[in-house]
A and B are shown apart, each in its own frame.
Chain A
Amino acid sequence: SQQGEEDPQALSIQEGENATMNCSYKTSINNLQWYRQNSGRGLVHLILIRSNEREKHSGRLRVTLDTSKKSSSLLITASRAADTASYFCATNTGNQFYFGTGTSLTVIP
């Protein structure tokens, strides 16, 4: 399987703190994406980072990519209770997409 892995599997923080989750993948990539899934819902696309980029920002999200280590990290700054969700990284080979196993984030008000 080319499925990636997120680390940690679960993370619990206080509102206002930063949350960092990591993704490791197995093959060479052109880009990597992060998605959020609220409980009982479909996934929502958050951000895409290309293989020639090392860092990308979108609002309170900061994504880094280290292609030499085949890893990426997602940082959520100043977390809110509404950020409580599962977060998945995704890569693709051609038209086939591979999702990681996810990090479950709980933000305590």
Chain B
Amino acid sequence: NAGVTQTPKFQVLKTGQSMTLQCAQDMNHEYMSWYRQDPGMGLRLIHYSVGAGITDQGEVPNGYNVSRSTTEDFPLRLLSAAPSQTSVYFCASSSAGAYEQYFGPGTRLTVT
């Protein structure tokens, strides 16, 4: 099993550009989530999904969209990138009712 995969590993965007961060898992997990990690802030939840077709907002959802059309994939869209979105983004997944989350390797995003 590959676990949780994220692409790309690194990305540089200009202010105002849009892009999609990809996340996929092969463990048939129902729960998937996106976090951003900033220095001194720990991880903060952006959006999460408890199953295909169901998404909800986390702590810091503004400027981000998600969709969940399949169990395996949970892409994160930046609509109009801003320098404040410079961060490391992590995708995670877990089984329904389980609290242990499996994390991807992260995407380091810089917005100039």
Contacts and interface: CB of A to CB of B under 8 A. Distances in A.
A72 B92 CA distance: 23
Contacts of B104: 42
Interface size class of A (residues with CB under 8 A): 20 to 34
Given A42-B4, A43-B90, A88-B42, A97 B106 contact: no
Nearest to A48: B99
A101 B42 contact: yes
A58 interface: no
B105 A42 contact: yes
Contacts, number: 54
B41 A33 contact: no
DSSP class of A's interface residues: helix, strand, loop or mixed?
strand
Interface stretch (B12-20, B44-52, B62-70, B77-85): B44-52
21 contacts: A1-B59, A33-B100, A42-B90, A42-B105, A43-B43, A43-B92, A43-B101, A45-B101, A48-B100, A88-B43, A95-B31, A95-B50, A96-B58, A97-B33, A98-B59, A99-B42, A99-B43, A99-B44, A100-B42, A101-B40, A101-B41
Interface of B: 4, 31, 33, 35, 40-45, 48, 50, 56, 58-59, 90, 92, 99-106
